[in-house]
Amino acid sequence: MPLPKITPQQAHKMLSEGAILLDIREADEYARAHIDGARHLPLSKLDAADLRVQHGMPVIFHCRSGARTAGNAPRLAAKVGGSCDAFIVDGGLDAWRKAGLPVVTDRRQPLELQRQVQIGAGSLAFFGTLLGLLVSPWFLAVPLFVGAGLMTAGITGFCGMARLLVHMPWNRAIYQPQI
């Protein structure tokens, strides 16, 4: 069941009238930037969440670009269970910003984990290739290893680099060690 899309301006107006805004991004994304007043309900914890909404109050879901909310619209609609009207912010947080609406940003928070992985993997591949061309062909093993890791992450959903980055000191405030 697709949820209707609304513009950021429509969502902003609905929020001023009491609608509930739910941010479905993960904790690292939410900590770095979010819409003031948005409740945090990560998509990864949606099934276990107890989503209680006030009867008759619309619920508005959003993510960064709108793709995650649109792709998970049936799950989100099922979670609301028809107890109220539910919508998706078309274009998500990116469109909200572009519309000039206020966003709470905390640049002291680390970059999103996915971006950290992209920076790390890209840097290793770039410098490994550069060193392989200029210093020794043995350095070409580095981008080979990174490529294999990225393929493994894409196929299995397991990303070793992300697992390592979660434990870095700059990420400890967001991620709790899982035992």
**SS3 breakdown of the chain: % helix, strand, coil, rounded to 5?**
50, 10, 40
CA distance 30 to 72: 18
* Residues paired with 39 in a beta bridge: 22
Task: Say which residues have a Cβ less than 8 Å from residue 143's Cβ, sequence separation at least 6.
Answer: 124, 125, 128, 129, 132
CA distance 43 to 49: 10
CA distance 88 to 93: 11
**DSSP sequence for 107-147:** TTSPPPHHHHHHHHHHHHHHHHHHHHHHT-GGGGHHHHHHH
Q: Beta 104-105 vs 33-34: how paired, if at all? A: antiparallel
Please say if 63 is a catalytic residue. yes
Active-site residue (options: 21, 63, 88, 117): 63
Active site residues: 63
